[in-house]
């Protein structure tokens, strides 16, 4: 289902005036054939909110906002910006495509070059055991709540917040903060990182894990009693007949009896590993 509206307003991107705006709401529902499905959301501009619910369905509501410098450019945006929603087996995929998408993200031409801007804000409901692969680049935050499956989550120019999750995986925010609150401690190797933000992770009492930390311009704090682990041996590679030794630069501590390796990486931020109150 799609609902749409057109408005004449004023939006600005640098010194570019976007006087024409169209807003659409797109709704789509998929049904998983079995437990343990996967949802992939590959966005460019906009926020992504994912929450667990008690159904076997994946419900997507996407607010699409197109802003342009003229009605002609708005029509160009409608033709060039594509939202693809599909299902193959037990996997649901939502992808936003636009002329500025490239293999590793987006190019640097920006709205001024194209004469329009396109944003997609996702509101998604999934079964609790769903695995997630989630990406956005600009003008949006990522929020995930109540999901127990695995995850691979990345935001380039915004933050990531995950609440009441219990799976294992990877979380990264290049220019934003990472905040994760676990309902149950992860049982497998996981990674939490940011280049220009703090990394704040809340784990449950009774944790047994090996924690690895790396920060360049920040500090590391934890509520848990720890014992220090010896540094890892450098890895050795052979190049052009010479051996090159590399260190992973992570410091290690053990909590409890040890267990899955949890890595925390904040180049220009602090790392907090806290015990979450019941």
Give the per-residue pLDDT at 9: 42
Q: Does residue 168 contact residue 76 with C-beta atoms inside 8 Å?
A: no
Residue 211 CA to its chain's centroid (Å): 22
- Spatial CA neighbour of 141 closest among 22, 269, 50, 21: 50
Q: Which residues of the chain have pLDDT under 70?
A: 1-16, 103-105, 107-108, 233-236, 243-248, 278
Residue 117 has a CB neighbour count (10 Å cut-off) of 25
Residues in the chain: 278
Q: How far is residue 179's CA from residue 165's CA, in Å, rounded to a whole number?
A: 11
Give the per-residue pLDDT at 142: 99
Give the per-residue pLDDT at 63: 98
Give the per-residue pLDDT at 33: 87
Residue 76 has a CB neighbour count (10 Å cut-off) of 17
pLDDT digits (tens, 9 = 90+) for 3-12: 555 444 444 4
| Placement of tokens 């127990």 in the chain | 148
- C-alpha triplet 238, 195, 255: angle, nearest 5°: 80
Give the per-residue pLDDT at 7: 47
pLDDT digits (tens, 9 = 90+) for 33-44: 899 999 999 999
Give the per-residue pLDDT at 13: 43
- Tokens in use for 14? 């640098």
Q: Does residue 269 contact residue 220 with C-beta atoms inside 8 Å?
A: no
- On whether the pTM is more than 0.95, the answer is no
- Spatial CA neighbour of 21 closest among 111, 142, 108: 111
Q: Does residue 226 contact residue 253 with C-beta atoms inside 8 Å?
A: yes
């Amino acid at each position: 289902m799609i609902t749409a509206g057109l408005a004449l307003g004023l939006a600005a991107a640098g010194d570019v005036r976007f006087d024409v705006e169209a807003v659409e709401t797109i709704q789509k529902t998929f049904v998983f054939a079995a437990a343990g499905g996967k949802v992939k959301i590959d966005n460019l501009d906009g926020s992504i909110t994912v929450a667990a619910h008690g159904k076997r369905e994946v419900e997507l509501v996407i607010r699409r906002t197109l802003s342009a410098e003229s009605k002609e450019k708005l029509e160009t945006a409608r033709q060039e910006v594509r939202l693809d929603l599909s299902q193959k087996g037990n996997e649901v995929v939502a992808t936003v495509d636009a002329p500025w998408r490239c293999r590793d993200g987006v190019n640097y031409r920006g709205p001024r070059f194209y004469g329009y801007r396109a944003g997609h804000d996702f509101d998604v409901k999934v079964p609790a055991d769903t695995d997630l692969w989630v990406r956005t680049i600009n003008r949006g935050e990522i929020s995930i709540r109540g999901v127990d499956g695995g995850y691979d989550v990345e935001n380039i120019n915004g933050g990531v917040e995950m609440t009441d999750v219990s799976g294992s995986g990877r979380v990264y925010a290049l220019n934003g903060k990472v905040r994760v609150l676990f309902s149950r401690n992860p049982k497998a190797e996981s990674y939490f990182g940011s280049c220009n933000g703090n990394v704040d992770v809340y784990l449950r009492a009774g944790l047994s894990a090996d924690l690895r930390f790396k920060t360049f311009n920040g500090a590391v704090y934890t509520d848990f009693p720890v014992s220090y682990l010896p540094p890892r041996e450098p890895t050795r590679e052979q190049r052009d007949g010479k051996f090159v030794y590399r260190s992973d630069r992570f410091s290690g501590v053990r909590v409890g009896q040890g267990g899955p390796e949890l890595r925390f990486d904040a180049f220009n931020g602090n790392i907090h590993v806290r015990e979450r109150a019941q």
